[in-house]
Amino acid sequence: MIILGIDPGTGRTGWGVISSTPLQKIKQKITYVAHGCIVTTQIDVMERRLHILHDNINELILLHKPECLIIEHIFFGRNVKTAISVSQARGVIMLSASLHGLPIFEYTPSTVKLSLVGSGKAEKKEVQQTVRRILHLNSRTLAFNGKKDKDFDDSADALAIAIHHVFKITSPAGIDVKPLKKKLKTKKAAVVKIKKKK
């Protein structure tokens, strides 16, 4: 199963793709596929930034062909302005997934941290280290602290939420995990290329 994890935002949206292969009834082999970050600039108006986000998510879905999309549940305790922009990004991402007929699952950051690290208040570095350990990759491959789009720590959160979903669906407790909405039978959306102004 190919899983696309998303850490939403209008400025930076982290994404991570993993594959899950059954080993036993309650065990899965989790393999790293790809990760990165969709970055938009504040110079652009909001509708253009959301359009760019929509196009990039479409491209990721067409490229990696995930079977589900996992997205971070928004925490309204944060700055109201930030919460609004993140909500806008979430809406666009969920629309992209729906257009491709993908089931959507969401989890809170604290739930993911508790699942991977053992504490809902774990620091980002702890989450990053755990993600590397689970995926059997070093800090060079998964930097999460560089200046390139691929190295932003948002992608670590995206990989983490995707890994958490695997843990949930393979839980020995038999937790019933349901998507936000039923899978829709729709045609794949066309990817519209946007030419940046020079």
What whole-number distance in Å separates Cα of residue 52 and Cα of residue 133?
33
Q: Please confirm, yes or no, whether 7 is among the known catalytic residues.
A: yes
Name 102's bridge partners.
none
> Among residues 72, 106, 153, 157, which one is catalytic?
72
Per the listing, tokens 């066309």 go with 190
Residue 26, CA atoms < 13 Å, CB-side half-sphere: 6
> Among residues 55, 153, 154, 157, which one is catalytic?
154
What whole-number distance in Å separates Cα of residue 38 and Cα of residue 154?
10
> Among residues 7, 55, 153, 157, which one is catalytic?
7
What whole-number distance in Å separates Cα of residue 178 and Cα of residue 34?
25
In angstroms, how far is CA 183 from the centroid of its own chain?
A: 18
Cβ–Cβ < 8 Å for 134, 30: yes
Return the active site residues. Answer: 7, 72, 154
